[in-house]
Chains A and B, each alone.
Chain A
Amino acid sequence: MELMVNGSPVALTSDRDTPLLTALRDELGLTGTRFGCGQGLCGACFVDVDGTVVPACQTPVWQVEGASVTTVEGLSRDGEPHPVQQAVLDRQAAQCGFCISGVLVRAAALLRDEPDADADRVAEALDRNLCRCGTHRRIVEAVLTAREHA
């Protein structure tokens, strides 16, 4: 099964029903996409598939045949962190960091689609990402900062 992952063509040998998350982590070694719940309810495994953010744990690989998938590892450009990654580092907007991969994928998609999103819109867009450490407001601030560079 062929698809694009982070801009490069890949051929997967996993069964068609294998969750994309498992294929990414185990077959492709892309462990940046995290397993949080396996039920599509926490956002830790968010990936971008042809411009739509989906939970990779609930996406069987047959659904992404021929698609273009972007994971947290694919957000950087020319070896430089994505502006939202840089903003999160600058603002130290993470504590344990386990939610941050999915947050970054969601935030990068938001800034691409709605470059003028305000604080309320950023928060609303992240409502399907769970953060347990209480870093919510720092993350929103970081995303707003990244708008200028995205």
Chain B
Amino acid sequence: MTELPAHVVTNPRLGTWVTVADGLVEVHVGKVELGQGILTALAQIAADALALPVERLRVVPAHTVHGPDQGSTSGSLSVFQAGPALRHVGAVVRALADPSSPGYVDRVGALDPDTDLTTAPTAGDVPAAAVGRSEPRLDLPDKVLGRPRYLSDLRPEGLLHGRVLRPPSPAARLRSLDPDWKATGVELVRDGSFLGVVGEREVDVDRALEQLARDALWDEEDTLPDETAVAEWLRAGPHETIEVLDEEPPEGALSASYSKPLLVHASIAPSAALARWEGDRLLVQTHSQGIHQLRAAIAGALDLDPTTVVVEHVENAGCYGHNAADDAAFDAVLLARAVPGRPVLLRWTRADELSWAPLSPAMTATVSASIRDGRISGWSYEVWSTGHTSRPGSRATPSLLAGAHLATPVPLPQPTDPPPARGGGTTRNAVPGYDVGPRRVVGHRRVDSPFRTSAMRALGAYFNVFAVESFMDELALAAGADPVELRLAHLSDPRAAHVVAEAARLSGWSEPVPDEVGRGLGYARYKDKGAYCAVVAEVAVTSSVDVRRLTVVADVGVVVNPDGARNQLEGGATQAVSWTTKERVRFDRRRITSTDWEQYPLLTFSEAPQVEVHLVDSSATSVGAGEAAQGPTAAAVANAVHRALGVRVRDLPLDAASVVRAIEQSE
């Protein structure tokens, strides 16, 4: 017997994973559907493990009482972590219930739910039937046919709607509100600077929220840095230093600095949650990535026994990292506390979603290296950022937004970084994947951030890969080498070289293009141990940066669902084009000012590039695909802009203003 999967050791009871109802085997998982199709992929793995067709299974959404604790759904780890656990559970079920004779599902239903998975017998492997097939997504029919499926579609008996009035700026405190404040059809919930309304009719709570915004008076402070000098602000400190490695490289002859602005998740749905206090039990429905951590945070913030708090996952719009889902859940809990026994459906406003949700940090980096006779010799990389996680559970304190505004505040911790074993944050993919001689890589995390920054898809890897891969092209230019040839000459990992060479071949790398068009390539292996991905971008630069076509080649190991993996890579690359060419959180010294879709524009349908995704046939361990393409895409676009324009643009986003600035600086 090989080593037991970690999630089986921590969730050893059979009944936590598998139950039977209505003739279907119910598979309980701790990973959650964020729009990435994970429930379908896990259903495929579970179907093979249980020797059943996918149609005989039902995947049950994560629940703190009825399902396993599998941590948070993040870091492209779901298939990697949940796959082995489900295969083990299936092997035990097959050993105990014999799938080869009639009545198998009934026998599964009759198994003792207290069976210890760590000591139970296991049957041998069975050949894959569902894994490797492009099974259609199980959740899409409801969504495409407009059936209730999302959290905001829940309509339990006695439902009340809720809204929260957030302060106008990060450091604002409530100065005054009439103690007799009233509005039609709602009840006011007030605790320190936390203000909310609940009512039976949505139209009443929306109107009351507008009235409350007019009537509440706030004391505000200027706590934000100068938007035009964020890179300098990041470099000024105070910092915590993250020494990644120091092999004492010689001083580099070439050097360049890059930057990235703050970004926001910008999901199409505002965050929402449903909460109900029932006697001494609290029930919460949430679209959080980590229901167990959320439960602990809620219990910690309100001094409750965690076993009295029940948290269940319900789908909402796409989640790309630590967004406002957890904060919304806590808001709903606070509102529902004022109306015991009644379910409260809380929804954020669009403006709050774009300004109060955790942000993806601004970053800047300086890289230097030398190149002689086509060989890179020595590499120094320093990167500055604020922290890449503020998730509940990443610190001992609860880290729920409303906590900071309560009469007895539960202050928000400074953002930090995930540990190196989980890929780090500021320094994720800061080490180049090339043989570059002695290296020095250092991160500096500014520790007094007025912005609540946290994890967004790929964390620091998006920017670090942009910087490293832009600089690889700068070195190629200095050496008079082809960027693809230079990379291949410095890649010793054959899987890495393969995706780079394939991306070049499939994109027609050496074919001529019109004058205003350029091709550029970017490559990385996500977190140095995840998916290999190379992207070639074809970009036209006229009055704006127009990304026309992306060729994405990825090696994600054994592919569970080829179309699902392609959809994740295609979506990740397209989203990265939006980040790279358009997006930037705007602010003055007091407030975030990009609070609607006009001030925070996303890539439109007309602007979206053609994307071709090629998956490498591989028998290696499966790894996630959702965060592999972001960094390579940013770099590919930047490198293509340089080839089209002859000018290097080092500050994101690569919009018209940034291009003009780079042209001016180059003259």
The answer on a CB contact under 8 Å between B606 and A101 is no
By secondary structure, the A interface counts as: loop
List residues of chain B with CB within 8 A of the CB of A137.
570, 574, 608-611
B597 touches A41 (CB 8 A): yes
With A22-B202, A26-B202, A41-B598: A136-B574 Cβ-Cβ less than 8 Å = yes
The stretch of B1-9, B34-42, B423-431, B463-471 in contact with A is B34-42
Closest to A26 in B: B202
Partner of B203 from the list A22, A44, A130 (CB cut-off 8 Å) is A22
Pair B35/A104 contact, Cβ less than 8 Å: no
Q: How far is the CB of B479 from chain A (nearest CB, A)?
A: 35
Q: Is the CB of B268 within 8 A of A98?
A: yes
Taking a contact as CB atoms closer than 8 A, the residue among A35, A38, A89 that contacts B144 in the complex is A89
Render A107-138 as a binary contact track against B, CB cut-off 8 A, 1 for contact.
Answer: 00000000000001011101101111111111
Q: Are A129 and B563 in contact (CB under 8 A)?
A: no
Provide a sorted-by-A list of 24 A–B residue pairs whose CB atoms are within 8 angstroms: A25-B202, A31-B150, A31-B152, A39-B350, A41-B598, A44-B268, A44-B269, A75-B146, A81-B145, A89-B144, A95-B35, A95-B36, A96-B34, A96-B143, A97-B35, A98-B35, A98-B267, A98-B317, A127-B606, A131-B602, A132-B318, A134-B575, A136-B574, A137-B609
Q: Which 7 A-B pairs have the closest CB atoms?
A: A32-B146, A96-B35, A134-B574, A97-B143, A96-B318, A98-B317, A136-B608
A123 and B606 form a contact (CB under 8 A):
yes
**Nearest CB in chain B: distance from A15 CB, A:** 7
Beta-carbon contact of B144 and A88 below 8 Å: yes
Please, how many angstroms separate the alpha-carbon atoms of A92 and B141 in the complex? 10
Interface residue? A83 (CB, 8 A): no
Do B145 and A85 touch across chains, with their CB atoms under 8 A apart?
yes
In angstroms, Cα B270 to Cα A72, docked, is 20
**Nearest chain-B residue to A74 (Cβ)?**
B146
Residues in B whose Cβ lies below 8 Å from that of A15 = 203
Q: Is the CB of A95 within 8 A of B604?
A: no
Task: Give the residue among A38, A127, A132, A135 with the most B Cβ atoms within 10 A.
Answer: A132
Let me know if A98 and B318 touch, CB within 8 A: yes
With A75-B146, A96-B318, A138-B570 known, 15 other A-B pairs at CB within 8 A are A31-B148, A31-B155, A32-B145, A37-B270, A42-B350, A73-B146, A89-B136, A98-B150, A98-B267, A98-B316, A99-B268, A120-B606, A130-B268, A135-B571, A136-B603
User: A58 to chain B: which residues have CB within 8 Å?
Assistant: none
A26-57 contact mask (Cβ, 8 Å, vs B): 1 or 0: 10011111111111011010000000000000
Report if B255 contacts A (CB, 8 A): no
Closest A residue, CB atoms, query B265: A132
CB neighbours of B268 from chain A (8 A): 34, 36, 42, 44, 96, 98-99, 130-132
Taking residues whose C-beta sits less than 8 angstroms from the other chain, chain A's interface range is 35 or more
Q: Is A146 an interface residue (CB 8 A)?
A: no
Question: Which residue of chain A has its CB nearest to the CB of B349?
Answer: A38
Shortest C-beta distance, A27 to chain B (Å), equals 9
Q: Which residues of B contact A42 (CB under 8 A)?
A: 268, 350, 597
**B266 touches A (CB below 8 Å):** yes
Partner of A35, one of B152, B572, B574: B152
CB A141 to nearest CB in B, in angstroms, measures 10
Contacts of B269 in A (CB 8 A): 34-36, 44, 98
Map CB proximity to A onto B301-328 as digits: 1 under 8 Å, 0 otherwise: 0000000000000011111100000000
Q: Across the two chains, which residue of chain B brings its CB closest to A14?
A: B203
Closest to A44 in B: B268
Query: Is B140 engaged at the interface, CB distance under 8 Å to the other chain?
Result: yes
Closest to A72 in B: B146
Please report which residues of chain B, range 241-279, place their CB below 8 angstroms from some CB of chain A when the two chains form the complex.
266-270
Nearest CB of A to B615, in Å: 15
Q: Closest CB-CB distance, A136 to chain B, in whole Å?
A: 3
Q: A140 within 8 Å of B by Cβ?
A: yes
Chain B's nearest CB lies how many Å from the CB of A35? 7
Q: Min CB distance, A147 to chain B, in Å?
A: 16
Q: Cα distance A98–B318 when bound, in Å?
A: 8
Q: Does B107 contact A (CB under 8 A)?
A: no
Q: Does A68 lie at the interface of the complex (its beta carbon under 8 Å from any beta carbon of B)?
A: no
Taking a contact as CB atoms under 8 Å apart, the answer to whether B36 and A39 are in contact is no
* Measured CA separation A42–B134 after assembly (Å): 31
Q: Across the interface, name the chain A residue whose C-beta is closest to B574.
A: A134
B573 contacts the other chain (CB 8 A): yes
Among B574-616, those with CB < 8 Å from A are 574-575, 577-578, 596-598, 602-606, 608-611
